[in-house]
Amino acid sequence: MRLRLAGSKRIQPMLVPAALLAIAGCAGSGEGLDANGRPIGEGGSDGGSNGGPPGGPPPATGEFRQIQDTIFTPVCTNCHAGAAAPLGLRLDEANSYAMLVNVPSVQVPALQRVTPGDPDASYLVQKIEGRAAVGARMPLGGPPLPQSSIDLVRQWIAQGAPPATAGLAEQLQPPRVVSTVPAEGEECPTPSTLTIVFSHPVDAALASADTFQLHASGGDGSFAEGNEIQVPLASVEVSLVNPTVVTLTPRGALAAETYRITISGSGAVALADVDGRVLDGDDDGTPGGDFHATFTVTEGTP
Ligand code: HEC
Ligand SMILES: [Ca+2]
């Protein structure tokens, strides 16, 4: 079940990796950082030999990263990516976590795709083990995953299904939007919710109808005329298991129209991360600037 934040002011993510906590502890004071704002001693174990600058982000680690790199990206994203992803399940790197953990299965809505701590009850596991009540074993039409891969997924879920750890350097950057569903430029049937994935956790206390807005184009597909209409949101939720994911729920079904999501990175109320770094909405590497993504609903009823 996805928890709502109604009323609650600020959440303390329960699954924040120790490394991230350590960084959060020193980022505010600047202690432990070099002149470029990077942690001292994070000298880049590859010495820059992989093309990255010495002192750049270390390779991200963790089980979910390994699952992404060895299973989802090479085996599943042939089908499970983009607007045509079967049952809306996108398993590409930007979206997979947000679409799996604590999200109900479409085929068997009583089960979550991933229930942290319970591999047997997780529909994802049932699908890759070939014991789901509905549909085929995954990967569809391909050889079953090796047992070692299945064990990796089981182990990750048994341990609480933590998100992949972002690189340390990434944690020190202003937060960015890494994905929206629907995506920029996408045409889709009416979505019941809109999902936004950030590069690292955002401050739930700042997630509201002030910082997240949805507008309809006014029928002309463009947002420059002044005839745009704001669409009311029933809720703006930051996921408790993974506060990099924000879900917007429009108050009613979205009619066939062009819409624009706006996230405030400027003005009186700007979105920021838990350390107060303001959203880099225009993705220019410095804090500030609004984020926009435009999508078109082709059919007004699901
Ligand atoms: C050849 C295309 C294809 C590939 C590759 C594929 N899938 Fe699927 N997947 C589908 C289709 C089609 C469905 C719905 C029909 C069915 O379940 O048989 C589906 C359904 C699912 C569902 C059920 C979702 C829900 O909400 O009920 C899960 C979970 C899933 N796939 C996971 C995976 C994983 C994990 C992989 C990679 C190991 C994978 N799939 C690879 C096509 C594919
Ligand atoms: Ca317009």
Last residue of a domain, one of 158, 179, 197: 158
d(C-alpha 107, C-alpha 81), whole Å: 18
Q: What integer pLDDT is reported at residue 301 of this predicted model?
A: 60
Q: Which of 1-15, 39-53, 70-84, 251-265 bottoms out in mean pLDDT, i.e. has the lowest?
A: 39-53
Say if residue 17's pLDDT is above 70. no
Q: Are residues 243 and 201 in the same domain?
A: yes
Q: Are residues 174 and 292 in the same domain?
A: yes
Token couple for 12: 């303390």
Alpha helices in 159-218 (DSSP H): 168-172
Q: Over the stretch 59-85, which tens digit does the pLDDT of each residue have?
A: 334 789 999 999 999 999 999 998 889
Q: How confident is the model at residue 235 (pLDDT cuts 50, 70, 90)?
A: very high
Q: Are residues 173 and 269 in the same domain?
A: yes
Q: Are residues 190 and 269 in the same domain?
A: yes
CA angle 295/166/79 to nearest 5° reads 45
Q: Are residues 218 and 279 in the same domain?
A: yes
Average pLDDT in the 95-100 region? 93
Q: What is the CATH number of the domain that holds 266?
A: 2.60.40.1220
Whether 120 is covered by a domain: the verdict is: yes
Q: Are residues 88 and 200 in the same domain?
A: no
- 126 CA distance to ligand 1 centroid (A)? 11
Q: What integer pLDDT is reported at residue 62 of this predicted model?
A: 79
Ligand 1 pocket, CB under 6 A: 71, 75-76, 78-80, 86-87, 89, 105-107, 113, 123-124, 127-128, 135-136, 138-142, 145
Looking at the 3D structure of the chain, how many domains does it have?
Answer: 2
- 268 CA distance to ligand 2 centroid (A)? 25
Q: Which domain holds residue 291?
A: 168-299
What residues contact 83, with CB distance under 8 A and at least 6 apart?
Answer: 182, 183, 186, 187, 188
Q: Over the stretch 198-219, which tens digit does the pLDDT of each residue have?
A: 998 999 999 999 999 999 999 9
Residue whose CA lies nearest to ligand 1 atom number 1: 140
Q: Are residues 176 and 287 in the same domain?
A: yes
Q: Are residues 211 and 96 in the same domain?
A: no
Whether 95 is covered by a domain: the verdict is: yes
Ligand in closest contact with the CA of 113: 1
Alpha helices in 106-187 (DSSP H): 123-129, 147-158, 168-172
Q: What integer pLDDT is reported at residue 39 of this predicted model?
A: 39
Of 66, 71, 89, which is best to mutate to test ligand 1, by the most ligand atoms within 8 angstroms of its C-beta?
A: 89
Q: Are residues 295 and 177 in the same domain?
A: yes
Residue whose CA lies nearest to ligand 1 atom number 14: 86
d(C-alpha 112, C-alpha 124), whole Å: 8
Say if residue 94's pLDDT is above 70. yes
Q: Are residues 126 and 151 in the same domain?
A: yes
Q: What integer pLDDT is reported at residue 114 of this predicted model?
A: 97
d(C-alpha 23, C-alpha 35), whole Å: 16
Ligand in closest contact with the CA of 224: 2
Say if residue 25's pLDDT is above 70. no
- 271 CA distance to ligand 1 centroid (A)? 35
Q: How confident is the model at residue 242 (pLDDT cuts 50, 70, 90)?
A: confident
Residue whose CA lies nearest to ligand 1 atom number 20: 86
Q: What integer pLDDT is reported at residue 158 of this predicted model?
A: 94
Q: Are residues 181 and 214 in the same domain?
A: yes
Q: Are residues 175 and 129 in the same domain?
A: no
Of 138, 148, 150, which is best to mutate to test ligand 1, by the most ligand atoms within 8 angstroms of its C-beta?
A: 138
Q: What's the mean pLDDT when you consider all of the chain?
A: 82
Residue 1, judged by CB atoms within 10 A of its CB (0-12, 13-18, 19+), counts as exposed
Q: Over the stretch 119-172, which tens digit does the pLDDT of each residue have?
A: 999 999 999 999 999 999 999 999 999 999 999 999 999 999 988 877 777 778
Find residue 250's DSSP bridge partners: 233
Atom index in ligand 1 nearest the CA of residue 100 equals 29
Q: What integer pLDDT is reported at residue 300 of this predicted model?
A: 65
- % of the chain residues with pLDDT over 90: 68
Ligand in closest contact with the CA of 136: 1
